[in-house]
Amino acid sequence: MLIDDPFRGGRALPAALLPHGRWAHRLAATAVMATAIAALAVQQLHRTPWGLPGHRGIFWLSVLIASRWCLDRPGTALRVAAGGSCVILFVDPTIGTHVLPYLAAAMLVDRLAEVPLVRRHPWLMLVLAPVIHLVGVLSPFLHHVGGGAGLGTVLGGMGFYVQGHLLWGAAAGVVGMTLGLGGRRLLGRPPSAP
């Protein structure tokens, strides 16, 4: 007898394997989610003083990409971003809107991971990750515009921020896809989704 298991992408499992497989998979999925949420929160609460625009994207964007591709469930990246944002705001409410790029990037990661072309060719995420990471430019842009700088002045100085976010976004894509597809294999899922 075969039973559809939603934790295995709707694929049928033999009924004899279902009880052990379902609990083991749920435990692994919970561990991945908890680790991803903790990593997202820790990177925001403990700043890394490298002084390079977008360098923290290698920590938070790679976590969003890795969790989404590892678990291969719609909404995974958004759940990680929302959980991490809740932890961040609970620990330090003064951070406020600095969690918005995480939520925006998570929505993009989840949406793009559902596109049939990207599902067939996961390496396309490597090309899309730098573009997704551009949501991180929102924080410095809003900070400078809100601080009274003219729009022309802010836009003129954003090139350095954009370049940094594109470069670190590419690195985050490589790290995230490596961890995500490797984690998918460890969970017993095929390297590319049907």
- pLDDT < 50 positions in the chain: 1-8, 12-13, 15-18, 193-194
**pTM (two decimals):** 0.80
CA-to-CA distance for 68 and 181, rounded, in angstroms?
10
**Phi then psi dihedrals of residue 115, to 5 deg:** -65, 130
Do residues 54 and 169 touch, judged by C-beta distance below 8 A?
Answer: yes
Q: Report which DSSP code applies to 9.
A: T
Structural domain spans, the chain: 32-186
Map residue 85 onto helix, strand or coil.
helix
Tens of pLDDT, residue by residue over 72-88, are: 889 999 999 999 999 99
Determine what percent of the chain falls in helix, strand and coil, rounding each to the nearest 5.
75, 5, 20
Q: Distance of alpha carbon 34 from its chain centroid, rounded?
A: 13
Do residues 45 and 91 touch, judged by C-beta distance below 8 A?
Answer: yes
Tens of pLDDT, residue by residue over 109-148, are: 999 999 999 999 999 999 999 999 999 887 777 777 777 7
